[in-house]
Structure 1
Amino acid sequence: MSYLVLARKYRPKTFGQMVGQEHVVQALSNALEQQRLHHAYLFTGTRGVGKTTVSRILAKSLNCQGPDGQGGITATPCGVCQACTDIDAGRFVDYTELDAASNRGVDEVQSLLEQAVYKPVQGRFKVFMIDEVHMLTGHAFNAMLKTLEEPPEYLKFVLATTDPQKVPVTVLSRCLQFNLRPMAPQTVQEHLAGVLQSEAVEAEPQALRLLARAARGSMRDALSLTDQAIAFGGGALQEAAVRQMLGSVDRTHVFRLIEALAAGEGRAVVEISETLRLNGLSAAGALEEMTAVLQRMAVAQAVPGHGDAGDPDHAEVARLAALLPADETQLLYTMCLHGRAELGLAPDEYAALTMVLLRLLAFRPAAATAEAEKKTLNAARPSPEPAAQPVRAPQATAAPVTPPAVSRPAVVASSVVSAAVAPVAPPAPARPPGQVLPVVDPPARAGATAQSPRPQPAGDGAVVGVPVRQQPESRRDASAMPTSFVPSEEGDFWYATVQALVAAEAITALVRELALQSQLVARDEGHWLLRVERETLNQPASRERLQAALKAAGHEVAITIELGPVNDSPARRNAAAAAQRQKEAEDIIQNDPFVQQMMRDFGAKIVPGSIKPI
């Protein structure tokens, strides 16, 4: 006889044998006892939580005939009558299971619905169970809507899905929906203990705890992992063997990591990470275990005394919770949680694990606070240089000045301190000739200057200090920048040359901007002189590229660029032409008889900026 896996051998046969779904069991049991039966049920939940099992138990409850053949609808099927045994064996003619993952078309659904017109052959009700119903096509859903809404009195629909978001609302509104929840690890562990006791298999509680956590709420996964663990351990469940099978990280490594992080020992953190690499333990599992331990530590810090005293890790978690402040625990938890997403981005997951752990060490709030305090103390500490001593010297040598009623003590103090700290001013950087502008007092401050004298620097330069807010901006006189161009003979030639280069895309970006913004001042055989207003355009690379483009266009010349006012450049010509076109377009609109009539009769106005030339 072939071996029957635990997940099938211990599948619940009645509602009383189900674990972890009491809310569903209670609702269905009360409905069956009170004969308040819906015609369509929808069971949702993740894999392995009992959707198909509930469907089969419901079908047995509807068709159970009792041991004596006189039974009726019941919440506790007998399990011995022909209907119950046939449904458990999968050969009951009035119970049909359809796998929508492989039968998702409208033809398969139509074939199923054709059987709805026939009354049950053996049982009391026909039950159509459609598993993974969200896989059906839109046409298949539409084909079953009418029958699903008003089925015959002897027909019941049971739908099951792991993704209810993909089920149309037209189907959801016709069903009674039950959400089967993932099972708690403690519930899974208790059920596994009962199953292994029935199988006479020795198991350590810590091994069952690992299997329950690895199942992640699925009882079928837990039983399948238990089968694998029994085979791996040779008929017994030992914690070390189960941990090795699952690739789980020993909590001892996790406790050592957290203790090293609390103590700020970077060497210990790296060594433990290398130990995980050498043992082939999962990097993601290490962060997951750290997250679980840090969560329990945070709970212990917020609610002292909380937790299961019988848990072997309880004492160690409490000890670590006392080592770390609450804010650091929260920070470590967040970094471990988000660090799991970075493991797949790195070429080596162990290197990524090491970086996450070192980040936990680098961003400790206590270390950051200590570093900030250290910087603050260093900044507040007086400088040991002797130049900081004669601060009072300028006050003794300065001429006595009677300050006015309203003065600027901050500016004067800063000047005195600057003179004391740096008595010898550094030499000014060299500037190109013609670019040095004198610093003068604004005309608006002439009267105030006569009344409130300012401290003069120790030097022979007649430079008057001006407050920062009133310092005039260093820029050219607006009158020196012409707003329109003055046509010239050289400008016509230069405009035609630049337009040809732009049309041929021989110049682009900064080179094109240099050509458009420049004016051809003079030209002779082999040499052209250009003028630009902005020095930023006169770059050696742009100048060389423009010269190369001119050479490619047949102009074997060398160009020289000077700074000065420009009144005839291709850009100014283009702007003047655009302004002329705009003015002509506005004149056309304003002189149009219909527009004038609208303005005269209805007070219409032309929106400024709405007229664009074509």
Structure 2
Amino acid sequence: MGIEEGRFPDLLEVDAATNTRVEEMRELLENTQYLPVAGRFKVYLIDEVHMLTNQSFNAFLKTLEEPPEHVKFLLATTDPQKLPVTVLSRCLQFNLKRMTPEHIVGHLKYVLGQEQIPFEDPALWLLARAADGSMRDALSLTDQAIAFGNQNLASSDVSNMLGTIDQRDIERLVQALVERDGPGLLTEISRIADFAPDYGVILADLLSLFHRVTMEQVVPGSADNAMGDAAQVQALARQLSAEDAQLFYQTALMGRKDLAVTPDARMGFEMTLLRMLAFRPGATRREPPAVSAGSNQAAGGNRPEPEPDPAPAQPTGSQAEPAPEPVQQPPEPEPAEVSVPPSPPMAEEPPPWEPDTPPWEPDDLEPIVEAAPRNEPQPPQQTEAPVAPERQAEPDQSVPPEPAQAPVQRGEFVWESDFRSLEINGMPGNLASYSSLSWDGDTAVLTLDEGHARLLNARHQEKILAGLRSRFGDAIQLRISQGIPGEHTPAAYEERQRAARQQAAEEAIRQDPVVKNIVERFEGRVVEDSIRPAETGRR
């Protein structure tokens, strides 16, 4: 009871931050010879002991080595590394745990209730977080906040005093992200910017919130009330998917690292939150590219004045026309010079591409079941002008062994084997190679699975459409359909050919007489994983 009221004579508290001189330490040690008055021991509590000078420690060390039986020293410090090793070796160390924010808030409520000072709960949580587990710091900050708010603790006043934002502002930012509300998100950022906050601290708060949301998703009921927002964390865990929570966490983590190199801290903070919106999984994230593509189409439609068509698909065709025109012009005189009389009906089929496509088709069709007999006659056929008879014979040979290709044929074009002749490169070509093709009149329907269709944007579709129009004419339209493409895709076709070449190479090695002789003589074995087929002409 006397200790709580501060009138116990045998408990002496010394502030080492103000009593650092060696004379003061010697005066304290001289009083240790007197016996306690009321208690069993005379206790000296030295706070912030690391602030003592080396001379004070040297004067204190002798008494510390052989203390009187009725004296106990309690040395309190927040930085034990600064104490001399000789002092640490003569003490028992007790590492006190930090107080939880809930405990600090509970004690502050008791103190403010006794003092009859009005307060807001969010203000106490801000003070508890700023105290960082120290009750003394929490009480000191509370005194400052009471003076700052004119005998009233309001969350807005505490936020201004600490230079931070309220936890509710963090929740508003996350709620705008959850609702995909871009304008609302920018409005909230603009409102927060009026307080000149530390954007790195805001991102750290977002990281903490997303971490707790993820923990609640993995282990329901594990969300603590360390920030006084356990109910909000549980609600966000139900609204956000696991992918969104991980994406937001990683984006905030990278954005916090980028703040140091951005020209403006607010700019980096805004871009971090906008990245969370732009790259969030979902169909709506493709809307901004679609809008920009439409504007590009409108701008592109103003360029070609001869074409009056207002249809949205025509600008893409007009952009793709310059590519096929120079390709179609050189082949036109060739049929006129060499084979105009013998092959008038062949002009209805795509003659401009006949001289250019054989370099692709023999390579694409080379690995099919009868690859060897095709490679031999093709080199002389490529140098001669009348290529059309050779192309008529090739589809006849490829259709019987693979009747499943019939639905994806258009004339002599087979989608899975002749896809590379369209010369669709880059990301559009990679995505299109995982699709199957069907025709609905003059509309090419590409069927893609959900994962690849999600990556396909308007610009990729323009390049695919340009490749199709260069082969089949400007009347071709393109439609993307989500579904199961099946096995008749260019990527699956190439994988089957690769596997066939690999199998043939392994079989050739196994049947090679020289290899057999080596294996028999040296009792060796063939490591099949090291066998690679010879590079094809197309590669």
Q: Report the TM-score, using the length of structure 2 for normalisation.
A: 0.47
Instruction: Please report the TM-score for the alignment, with normalisation by the length of structure 1.
Output: 0.42
Give the structure with the larger helix fraction: 2
The structure with more radius of gyration: 1
